[in-house]
Amino acid sequence: MDQRPQSLVVIGASAGGIKALLDLVEGLPADLEAAILVVVHIGSSRSVLPQILTRTGALKATAAEDGEPLHAGRIYVAPPDYHLLVQDGHIALSHGPKENHTRPAIDPLFRSAARAYGPRAIAVILSGALRDGTSGMLMVKARGGIAMVQDPADAVIDSMPASALSIVGADYVLPAREIGGVLAELVAGRTSRKAASMANEQDDDARAIISEDFKEQREDRRAGRMTMFTCPDCGGTLWQLDDGARLRYQCHVGHAWGPEMLLGQKSEELEAALWASVRLLKERATLTHQIAARMRETGQSSSRAEALDEEAHVDEQRADAIKNLLNTPLGVAPTIAAQADTDAAED
């Protein structure tokens, strides 16, 4: 006999989301006929969130364990550094690729809930930055589930709920303190809902799309949507997966990125590359000066030593120009760059 809970609630939170999660859990009744799965962006850090949630509300919360069956009236929290999924009425933990530069991530949980529970899934997005959860919530909606978001005005960081609200559209937009009560009412009086169109389920098809693109590449026939971008986590090429207002990138390993998170990582890569250039220019200038000094000490060509010193001086100027760019607000950077070009021309 199938003992799975009739409804599944999946909750995602990030920056500023702990307080909202506590407010939500406080409003849940002890007899809730649904299992609750929670992902908070904790990375690989040790978490005491299950103990805190247990003390806060009427439901017992535990760190999710791979393979354990789901039970109604229980809260399962994603453990550090593992994606939390649901499969065949059981918990599944995955150390798979990070999504939006985090593991655990919200999107994998939401996608698995949509597949496993369809119209009996309820997805909730609380306070957090950027867009994690939006893509997964879109899939929950596509399969007939319910989408709830914390009112952006009530969130400490409104980016995640605002993104879900604008791209997916929510069935309920509520302050965190009111969400628990509404969840209880939905679970208690749930009626069958017709599944929505599956046209937005590109997440489900991403692996198949990428596999086919690899096959086409091997067979010298390409009709895919490979981009010019590379994955910040592994360096692999990224595929673009978009549908209307939604835009996402994924590499063949499985790392997935929303556009803002990818832009942020590219900015970090650029800054790291520029600082590495400063270091290399300074190192080369120092080594060039040293070689010139040794040439003078040993009576070698003084003209060659002077030429080396000039080369070192140019490297030092280049390093200083890059440092100025890095240390200056973006709106001022072009002026400095132009000045650096002028100085180089005058030299």
- 166 catalytically annotated: no
- 277 catalytically annotated: no
Q: Which residue in 14, 112, 135, 159 is the catalytic one?
A: 14
pLDDT tens readout for residues 246-287: 778 888 888 988 888 888 888 888 888 999 999 999 999 999
Question: What would the two tokens of residue 250 be?
Answer: 């994924």
- Give the model's pLDDT for residue 205: 55
Which residues, in sequence order, are CB contacts of 16 under 8 Å at separation 6+? 127, 128, 155, 156, 157
CA distance 95 to 257: 17
* Chain Cα centroid distance, residue 17: 15
Pairing of strands 146-150, 237-243: unpaired
- 71 catalytically annotated: no
- Give the model's pLDDT for residue 222: 46
Q: Which residue in 41, 101, 252, 289 is the catalytic one?
A: 41
pLDDT tens readout for residues 87-123: 989 999 999 888 888 999 999 999 999 999 999 999 9
Structure-model confidence comparison of residues 328 and 320, the more confident one: 320
pTM for the full predicted model: 0.67
- Give the model's pLDDT for residue 207: 63
Q: Which residue in 132, 151, 203, 315 is the catalytic one?
A: 132
Concatenate the DSSP letters of all residues of 279-343 into one string: HHHHHHHHHHHHHHHHHHHTT--HHHHHHHHHHHHHHHHHHHHHHHHHTS-TTTHHHHHHHHHHH
Mean pLDDT of the chain: 85
Contact yes or no for 168/141 (Cβ under 8 A): yes
